[in-house]
Every structure is written in C-alpha cells, then in structure tokens.
Amino acid sequence: MDINLIKKEVGKVVVGQEEMVNALLVGLMTNSHILLEGVPGLAKTTTVNALASVLGLDFKRVQFTPDLLPSDITGAQIYNPKTSEFELKKGPVFTNLLLADEINRAPAKVQSALLEVMQEKQVTLGVESFKIPKPFLVLATQNPVEQEGAYTLPEAQLDRFMMKIKIDYNTKEEELEIMRRVVNMASIELNKVASSKDIGQIQEDIKNVHIDKEVEEYIVDLVFASRYPSKYGLEDIAKYIEYGVSPRASIDLHKASKAQAYLEGKDFVTPVSVLKVLKPIFRHRLILTYEADEIEVDDIIQRIVDAIKIP
C-alpha cells in the first residue's frame, strides 16, 4: 500500500498541516488516538473528513459542550411505548474516525465515557456489550485560547492519547492557496485509494518493521531521563520536572517509531524516526513544576534529547 498516495489525495483539500496528517496516519496504523491543540479554523474537520473519504471509512463529529451527556457519545437504550420494549440507539462512537471537537468543553463524566471506549474498544449499553468498528481513531481537539468554561483533561486521561500535536497557522503561500480555493469554490473530487482492509494489512506490516536492541535501549533512556534527570547529567532541569513520562510513553514511542519508519518507506527504525515522534508523545505526559511557569515543555524535551547519546 502506497502511503504517499493517501497523503496526495488528502493534500487535494488540505493545504499544509503535514504534521497533523502524518499523526493521523500514525494513529490509524497503530490503533491509537491523537490530541490536537490549535486555534479554530486550521482544517481539523476537513482533514479527518478527507482521510475518511480517501480510505472509505465512516466519519462522525461531536461538538463537546457543557450540557453533553455520556449517552450522547455512547448511545442508550430508549423505551418505545408502542412496542413496550427498549430499543438500542447507538451513539457517534460507533464509527471509524471520530472527531471530538473541543473535548475540554464537556464535564469529566462525558470525557471519561469517551476515554473508556478508546481504551476498551467497546461500549456497554444495558446488559449488552458492543464492539467498536475497526479501525477506530479518536481525534480530540483542544482550543488553547479560551479557557473559561473548560474542564481540563486529567493527566491519567491525557495519557490515553498517543500524541499531542500542536498545530499552527499556515505559511503565507499556503494561506494564499487556501483563500483562492475557498473563494473560487473549487469542486475537488477525492478518490478512494485504500480501505479498512488495507489499513489492517498495514498494521500487520508495521509489526514486522525491525528495531535494533540499541534503538530500544535509546527509547528507554529517553523515558528514564525524563523521570530521573539528575542521573543523566540534567541537574539544571531537574527542578522543573515534577513527574516524568509514564510507561505508556515507552510503548507508544516504540509503536510510533515503527509507524514513522513505515511512513518513510523503511523496514527498520532509526534514531531519527524515534526523534520525529518524540515530542508529540512526551509533551502531554511530562508534568512540570510551578517553577517552570515560563518554560515550554518542548524545550525541556529538547534538553533531554541533547543529553542522551544517539546510538
């Protein structure tokens, strides 16, 4: 399966935002979920919708609001007075690609309902359990600007996301192209170039991507340097780190590195592949102290990278 063909088709409607597109593909290829942080209007919905069309997958979008209920996500058993029976109404999680827009707008109970489905890949309604279709990817977004009326995701729930991608504005050239396309109302037809069966095959192929023991040890060193910085000559940043990354970071870094190598057309993982996915995997898991108020988490991660010898 040619991954570049998928990216080329998506690129017909999505200008730029390569990191977001790559993250979505890595999420699909590893059965993982992605968290996006960026201001509105940066083509998040357009990208997921385009990817669904190109892969022939089902897509649903949920706008998270303070009055949302868990049943609005998972579904419920509804009583039908005509038949005197309960009928099953499946929620929007029964899809392949789910865009959870502004996930931090909904209260913890709703967030937990979604995150449980993400982890278990099934929904229990009444006494029955229902499997979620495969593949299943949740793309959750957060708006970093408006903080009023927002319910911050707890660290344990953030940990369920493989990556946190920060998306920024397009370049001037990209903005010009976006403006022209929208103003001219250009009709773009997307071709289906793959299927869920192809995605399943890619997931199997990625398992066969080779990773040397030295690279695996490099991954573990990066993880442990976030937990015990002083042991790795990072005494200067130790005071800024309250908690290092969790064991899920090691697992996700291993899986994402293989997927990244596959995206690059390689059948083996290099340290470069590891470093390309490191910051998105670490940035929402590394918890900083109050002393790091004006320090970016990405800068702390870069210091860790600089301190660990590349094999």
Superfamily of domain 3-193: P-loop containing nucleotide triphosphate hydrolases (3.40.50.300)
- This prediction has a pTM of 0.86
Provide the pLDDT confidence category of residue 185 given band limits of 50, 70 and 90. low
Per-residue confidence band for 10, with pLDDT thresholds at 50, 70 and 90: confident
Q: How confident is the model at residue 146 (pLDDT cuts 50, 70, 90)?
A: low
Domain ranges of the chain: 3-193, 208-307
> Alpha helices, DSSP H only, in 31-121?
44-55, 70-74, 108-120
**Token digits of residue 284:** 């929402």
User: What is the percent of the chain with per-residue pLDDT over 70, rounded to a whole number?
Assistant: 96
Q: For residue 69, give the 3-state DSSP assignment.
A: coil
Count of Cβ atoms closer than 10 Å to residue 287 Cβ: 16
Mean pLDDT of 230-257: 92
CATH topology of domain 208-307: Helicase, Ruva Protein; domain 3 (1.10.8)
- Residue 254 pLDDT: 96
Q: What pLDDT is attached to residue 286?
A: 92
Q: Is the pLDDT of residue 147 over 70?
A: no
**CB contact at 8 A, 165 and 22:** no
Q: Are 98 and 60 in contact (CB under 8 A)?
A: yes
In the chain, which residue ranges form alpha helices assigned H by DSSP?
3-10, 18-30, 44-55, 70-74, 108-120, 155-158, 172-183, 196-207, 213-227, 235-238, 247-263, 271-282, 297-307
Name the token pair of 261: 């190598």
Q: Give residue 1's pLDDT band: very low, low, confident or very high (50, 70, 90).
A: low
Mean pLDDT, the chain, whole residue set: 86
Range scoring the smallest mean pLDDT among 65-74, 83-92, 114-123: 83-92
Reported confidence tier of residue 107, pLDDT bands at 50, 70, 90? confident
The yes-or-no answer to whether 3-193 and 208-307 have a common fold is: no
Identify the pLDDT of residue 149: 58
Structure tokens at 273: 């592949």
